[in-house]
Chain A
Amino acid sequence: MITKFKDFINNLLPNLFSKKKNIKLGIYGPPNAGKTSLANKICEDWLGEPLGNVSVIPHETREIQIKEKVTIKSGRKSLTFNLIDTPGIATKIDYEDFVKLKMKKNLAKKRAKEATKGVIESIKWLDNMDAVLVVLDSTKNPYSQVNLTIIGNLVARDIPVLIVGNKIDLKKSNLKKIEDAFPQYNVLGLSATKGHNIDDFYKSLFKLVK
């Protein structure tokens, strides 16, 4: 009887705590680093459907996108979270950059305005996150004001961070440069579109979201 009671309590307590709140996992980073590609990969792998559109033109994601109750599994463990894909954070948004990519002027201006709104929205949501994946393009220089500011602010807020160096399938990829730029943080390389190193990524998520 006592054993059964103990089992009951042992089963009940973790469930109580796990249902205490929904874990919010945010995806942050500069534009075109592959945040939505990674969100899509996670959702396709575990829910069988993508989260949002991706594009070669920067600032495709201009509103917060949420997929609730994503459950991933590794062996006997499982982890459930709300996945929150955020608009890319940039310090300069110029419609002329979109026009150069063959976008019509009025649409480019609209995109610039919405992208600016998106940056503000991303920042406003930061405090709501329980853990954050900072997605960086491993073919680009990681030493940027945006990257340093986002990561610095997450740490200052005690929000657990995993830096994801995306696009490792590309020739120009240099993950070591990201590791050198952020030596005190966990850095994991992957390719969201090709799925390279995705299993290690899921294992890292369990460590990130405890």
Chain B
Amino acid sequence: MYPDGSEELLKGCECGSKFFFFIKKEKLNEVEELVSNLTTKDKTEIEKDVKDIIGIKNEDKPVVLDLESIKILKPGQYEIDVVKLLKDKMLIYRLEDGKYIIDLNSTFKKEKDL
């Protein structure tokens, strides 16, 4: 885990990944418990699924995801906060001092003039 503003968030983790989840301090224990139940294979699968769901293709840029509206308990098991999704109009974003923001409004195709 890396605190806000860490160099790793820009350069990438020592494992080589540039893909991070944003976790609020108050939810740290909950998340740690959840993560401790996951195998390395589970984590890789979840990371791949999240990338698929939100359509991340560029692997070079660092990405920090705030996934409060979708909880992934295990690969294939999702809890969706519909109220939050409808309210925020933005599923995922974040990187303080950041370098990258993902706004789902731009990742999903909108056909306004169908």
Contact = CB atoms under 8 A, between A and B. Distances in A.
Interface of A: 21-22, 24, 66, 68, 82, 84, 89-96, 108-109, 112-113, 116-117, 119-121, 123-126, 128, 145-146, 149-150, 153
Given A82-B114, A117-B53, 4 more contacts: A66-B114, A68-B114, A116-B70, A119-B80
Contacts of B114: 22, 24, 66, 68, 82, 84, 128
Contact of A113 (B49, B83, B110, B112): B49
Interface of B: 49, 52-53, 70, 75-83, 85-86, 91, 104-105, 108, 110-114
B94 to A, nearest CB: 17
Decide if the interface of chain A is mainly helix, strand, loop or mixed.
helix
A120 B85 contact: yes
Contact of A119 (B49, B77, B82, B105): B82
B52 A113 contact: yes
B83 A128 contact: no
Given A91-B81, A116-B70, A149-B83, A108 B76 contact: yes
A146 B86 CA distance: 11
Contacts, number: 78
B110 A124 contact: yes
A68 B52 CA distance: 28
19 contacts: A24-B114, A84-B114, A93-B78, A93-B80, A94-B76, A112-B78, A113-B76, A116-B70, A116-B78, A116-B80, A117-B53, A119-B85, A120-B91, A123-B82, A124-B108, A124-B110, A126-B86, A128-B111, A149-B83
A108 B76 CA distance: 8
Nearest to A116: B78
Contacts of A22: 113-114
Closest 4 CB pairs of A and B: A95-B76, A109-B76, A112-B76, A116-B78
A145 B83 contact: yes
A96 B110 contact: no
Nearest to A84: B114
Contacts of B77: 93-96, 112
Contacts of B91: 120
Contacts of B75: 95, 109
